[in-house]
Structures are given as structure tokens and as C-alpha cells.
């Protein structure tokens, strides 16, 4: 039976586990063993993980795989990917090899601007608010100098502060809409600290602004927070090759492949039901690298999907066409990433992943992540429009099914061989395992 508890966060780790296993598990000892078997034997490493969040009881593992042979702007990369879905790393590796033989991926960073907003309420004359804003703008910048000093020295900082009138949508609602350059940092802490300082200055200076009436002086701050929508922090990734070079075997010509592939992209451009799944395939690649490099995949997901709806209808992130006999497949996506700060200097596997990627700048990481997304999307569309997705997917899923039925190594070897030439379905695997065991 569930029960409430107060002061849980103050309990020691072992007391927290005692409470959890006694409250929720019929076999408390067994539950405790399951929790503890994922503890790291290196106490310092375990403590590091314990302290990432509150109320840690154990670690939750994801595989960290690698996809080699990515040629990006003529430089070779092996891309680390943290993901649980069976076929993703294999698909990425396949796409990397396919494009390695056709000139690789070309990428450019289009822009790197990030956004934050102070949302506030002001009851009064807009003209007076405008005058106040013009007066207070340099003071906002000046009073945040303690926060921005280091970033400015490195070439980043506050780019602009705008006053935005949102009163047609909500009465008395205005914003300070602020743009930032945060260089190699994702910048969330930097942006939020600046915004909270702006909010303080805005509120305080309004109290003494002579043009304001007593009511106008009472600016009410609602909240100050960065936006994860970053349409001006944009990266482009592209592959291209002569159409006839697209064919790898005699089953399908390059022309036929390109035609079907472009049809599939066109469908995702106009049909939201398909676009969501199409983009999910893109995010398979993106999230896996974002996670492996210690970045915030929820922020990236939110921003990317908002971008996919920017024209009023949710649509494909990627595009494809044939131009003068050249097949082109590309994507522009917003990615706010960091290679310094946050988890990047803390998590040993994040450090390892970044080193594997030649210690990239945030701009370089944007390009690598975009490529992982485009590669994943290419691999999915290639399967979907030729063999169908299940063939490759179920082949990779075979090991999961075998593990579910506790197949031993001999059984795994025999059945992997068997399914090289037989279609993998859940039932077929169970039948084959049963036959082998009988």
C-alpha cells in the first residue's frame, strides 16, 4: 500500500532505499538487490552520480554505442550515441558508410543566437513605457556586468534587448525579449542569471521613473526564463551525389531510388501524421548524440519540434530534390548545445565522448549532431522505401527477444545464424528457440 512521507530527501541513501522497498515491493530483499546491483564499485564515481540529482537510489544504464566512418566537411568522426533502441546505431553506421563513398556530409552553422525573456505586466500608457525602456536599457546592461563580464571578454554576451508589446493577446502583458551569444556554453545558467538581474533592475528603476503615474510605477514581473525555441541558432547538414550513384545493387536504379525517396520526404512535408514519425527518426540520431555529449535532449526536442511547426503546420525537418542530375538531401535545424559547463566537465563518459569527437566547439558539435539526425533519417527512409523497416529492425531486435527468453550463448549463435536467412518475428524466434531446446 502506498503512503506519504515527509522529509524523504533528508534521509540517507540507504534509508531511502529501505523505505522504497518496504513500501512498494512484496520481496523487499530482492528489490534491494536489483537496486544495488547497478551501483558502481568505485565509491567516488557513484557519489558523483548520486549528486547529479536529488533522491538518487541507483544508476539507470543506457548503452553507449559508436557509429564510425562519418565524413563531415572532409574530417572523419566516430560518433558516440547513448540510446536503447536496437537498430539506431546500426542504421547510423550504415548511412555513414553509404555517404563516405559519396563525398560525405557537408555542414554549415547558419546562426548561434539564443533567446531569453522577462515577462511582465504594466498597466498604463505604452508611450511612457517606451520612454522608460529607452532610459533603462543601458542600465539593464550595466547592472548585469558582473554576470556578463567573462562572457563578453570571450566575445559573447548580450546582443540586444527589445521591448515587446503583447497586449493584443493578454491585457497589460509585455516582454523584454533578449538575444544572447553564449559561445561554447549552452548558456542556460548565464541567460537565466542575466534575465533575473534585468527583472530586478526593471522593477526597481520603474519605481523612480518620473513620467510614470503611481500605478505605472508598479511593474509586475511574472517570470524570467530562457526560451528553448532557438530558430536563430541554426545548423544545416546536407548530402548530395549524382543520382545514378545512389544505387548500391542491381535491384533498384539510382533514379528509381531517388524518386521514391523524394516522394517519402514530400509526404512528410505535407502530412503531419507522417511528419511526426519522420522527425522522430531524425531525433533518434540527434538525441543519442545530445545525450552522449551531456546536453539537454528535452530542450533540443522542444525547440526542434516547435521549429518543425513554424509555418503553422507540423512538417518534415528534412528536404530532398534532384537538381541538374544531382540528388540533394538536407536539413536545417535549431540546436542550442554546449561543450563547456553543465555535465560536460563532470560526467566521465561525456568527457570521453567529447574527446572521441576531437573536443569540438559548440558550433562543431551542432554540425555533428545535425549529421547524426540526417543520417538516421536517410537510413530510415532508405529502408522504408525499399525493403521495409521491419527487416533491419527485427534483425537488431532479435537479441532482445533472445535475452527476454534467457537464451544462452550457444542458442544465440545458432539462432542468429538461422535468422540470417529467415524473417524475424516475435513468434518465429520463440518457435525456433523452442525447437532448439526440444
- What is the grid cell recorded at 386? 525499399
Burial 70-98 (b: 16+ CB within 10 A, else e): bbbeeeebebbbbbeebbbbbbbbbbbeb
Active site residue 296: yes
The distance of closest approach from Cβ of residue 78 to ligand MEV in the complex, given in angstroms and rounded to an integer, is 22
- The closest of 363, 311, 312 to 335, measured between CA atoms, is 363
Catalytic-residue membership of 16: no
- Site for ligand MEV contains 280 (CB under 6 A): yes
Nearest approach, Cβ of 181 to ligand MEV (angstroms)? Answer: 34
75 - beta bridge partners? 72
Cβ nearer to ligand MEV, comparing 277 with 400: 277
Dihedrals phi, psi of 253, to nearest 5 degrees? -80, 160
For the CB of residue 84, give the shortest distance to ligand MEV in the complex, in Å: 11
Closest approach, Cβ 91 to ligand MEV, in A, equals 8
Of 136-144, 280-288, 311-319, 427-435: span binding ligand MEV (CB under 6 A): 280-288
Q: Is the dihedral of CA 20, 22, 26, 30 positive or negative?
A: positive
Contact 92, 82 (CB under 8 A): no
Q: For residue 406, is it left (φ>0), alpha (ψ between -120 and 50) or beta?
A: left
Name which of 284 and 339 has its Cβ closer to ligand MEV.
284
Cβ closest to ligand MEV, residue 336 vs residue 389: 389
Residue nearest ligand MEV by beta-carbon distance: 281
* One-character DSSP codes across 169-228: TSTTEEEEEEEEE-TTB--HHHHHHHHHHHHHHHHHHHHT-TTS-TTTT--EEEEEEEES
Q: Is 335 exposed, middle or buried (0-12, 13-18, 19+ CB in 10 A)?
A: buried
The whole-angstrom separation of Cα 237 and Cα 327 is: 14
Query: What is the CB neighbour count within 10 angstroms for residue 120?
Result: 22
For the CB of residue 247, give the shortest distance to ligand MEV in the complex, in Å. Answer: 21
Least separation in angstroms between residue 410's CB and ligand MEV is: 31
**C-alpha distance from residue 294 to each of 182, 298, 352, 419 (Å):** 17, 12, 11, 37
Q: Which of 85, 271, 332, 411 is catalytic?
A: 85
Among 86, 112, 148, 284, binds ligand MEV (CB under 6 A): 284
**Residues between 32 and 91 with contacts to ligand MEV, criterion CB under 6 A:** 85
Instruction: Report the first-to-last Cα separation within the chain, whole angstroms.
Output: 43
CA 385 to chain centre: 26
Comparing CB distances to ligand MEV, the nearer of 389 and 429 is: 389
For ligand MEV, the closer CB: 201 or 385? 385
18 is a catalytic site residue:
no
Smallest gap, in angstroms, from Cβ of residue 280 to ligand MEV? 5
Q: Is 319 in the site for ligand MEV (CB under 6 A)?
A: no
In angstroms, the Cα distances linking 387 to 94, 115, 196, 263, 393 are 15, 43, 54, 16, 11
* Contact status: 380 vs ligand MEV (CB under 6 A): yes
| Rg value, the chain, Cα | 27
Q: Which residue is catalytic, options 114, 278, 393, 397?
A: 393
Footprint (CB under 6 A) of ligand MEV, residues 219-278? 277-278
Q: Which CB sits closer to ligand MEV, 281 or 373?
A: 281
Residue 280 catalytic?
yes
Which of 296, 347, 364, 397 is flagged as catalytic? Answer: 296
Cβ proximity to ligand MEV, 202 vs 381, nearer residue: 381
Residues involved in catalysis:
85, 280, 296, 393
Binding residues (CB under 6 A) for ligand MEV: these are 85, 277-278, 280-281, 284, 380, 384, 389
Amino acid at each position: 500500500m502506498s503512503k506519504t512521507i515527509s522529509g524523504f530527501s533528508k534521509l540517507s541513501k540507504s534509508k531511502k532505499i529501505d523505505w522504497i522497498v518496504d513500501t512498494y515491493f512484496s520481496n523487499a530483499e530482492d528489490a534491494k538487490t536489483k537496486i544495488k546491483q547497478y551501483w558502481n564499485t568505485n565509491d567516488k564515481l557513484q557519489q558523483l552520480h548520486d549528486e547529479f540529482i536529488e533522491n538518487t537510489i541507483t544508476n539507470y544504464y543506457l548503452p553507449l554505442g559508436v557509429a564510425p566512418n562519418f565524413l563531415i566537411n572532409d574530417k572523419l568522426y566516430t560518433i558516440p550515441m547513448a540510446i536503447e533502441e536496437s537498430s539506431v546505431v546500426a542504421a547510423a553506421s550504415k548511412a555513414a558508410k553509404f555517404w563516405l563513398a559519396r563525398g560525405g556530409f557537408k555542414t554549415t552553422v547558419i546562426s548561434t543566437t539564443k533567446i531569453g525573456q522577462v515577462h511582465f505586466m504594466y498597466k498604463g500608457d505604452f508611450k511612457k513605457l517606451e520612454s522608460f525602456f529607452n532610459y533603462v536599457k543601458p542600465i539593464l546592461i550595466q547592472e548585469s556586468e558582473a554576470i556578463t563580464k567573462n562572457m563578453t571578454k570571450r566575445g559573447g554576451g548580450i546582443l540586444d534587448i527589445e521591448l515587446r508589446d503583447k497586449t493584443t493577446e493578454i491585457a497589460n502583458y509585455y516582454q523584454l525579449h533578449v538575444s544572447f551569444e553564449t559561445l561554447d556554453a549552452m548558456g542556460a545558467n548565464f541567460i537565466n542569471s542575466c534575465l533575473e538581474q534585468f527583472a530586478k533592475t526593471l522593477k526597481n528603476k520603474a519605481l523612480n521613473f518620473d513620467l510614470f503615474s503611481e500605478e505605472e510605477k508598479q511593474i509586475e514581473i511574472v517570470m524570467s526564463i530562457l526560451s528553448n525555441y532557438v530558430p536563430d541558432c541554426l545548423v544545416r547538414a546536407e548530402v548530395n551525389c549524382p543520382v545514378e550513384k545512389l544505387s548500391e545493387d542491381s535491384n533498384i536504379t539510382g533514379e528509381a531510388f531517388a524518386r521514391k525517396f523524394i516522394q517519402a520526404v514530400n509526404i512528410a512535408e505535407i502530412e503531419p501524421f507522417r511528419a511526426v514519425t519522420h522527425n522522430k527518426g531524425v531525433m533518434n540520431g540527434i538525441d543519442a548524440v545530445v545525450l552522449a555529449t551531456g546536453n539537454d535532449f528535452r530542450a533540443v526536442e522542444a525547440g526542434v519540434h516547435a521549429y518543425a511547426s513554424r509555418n503553422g503546420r507540423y512538417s518534415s525537418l528534412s528536404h530532398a530534390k534532384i537538381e541538374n542530375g544531382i540528388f540533394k538531401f538536407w536539413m536545417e535545424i535549431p540546436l542550442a548545445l554546449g561543450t563547456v559547463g553543465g555535465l560536460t566537465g563532470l560526467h566521465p563518459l561525456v568527457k570521453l565522448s567529447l574527446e572521441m569527437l576531437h573536443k569540438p566547439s559548440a558550433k562543431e558539435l551542432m554540425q555533428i549532431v545535425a549529421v547524426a539526425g540526417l543520417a538516421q533519417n536517410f537510413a530510415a527512409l532508405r529502408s522504408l522505401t525499399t525493403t521495409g523497416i521491419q527487416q533491419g529492425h527485427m534483425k537488431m531486435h532479435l537479441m532482445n527477444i533472445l535475452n527476454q527468453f534467457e537464451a544462452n550463448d550457444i542458442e544465440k549463435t545458432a539462432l542468429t545464424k538461422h535468422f540470417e536467412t529467415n524473417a524475424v518475428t516475435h513468434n518465429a524466434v520463440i518457435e525456433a528457440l523452442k525447437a532448439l531446446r526440444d
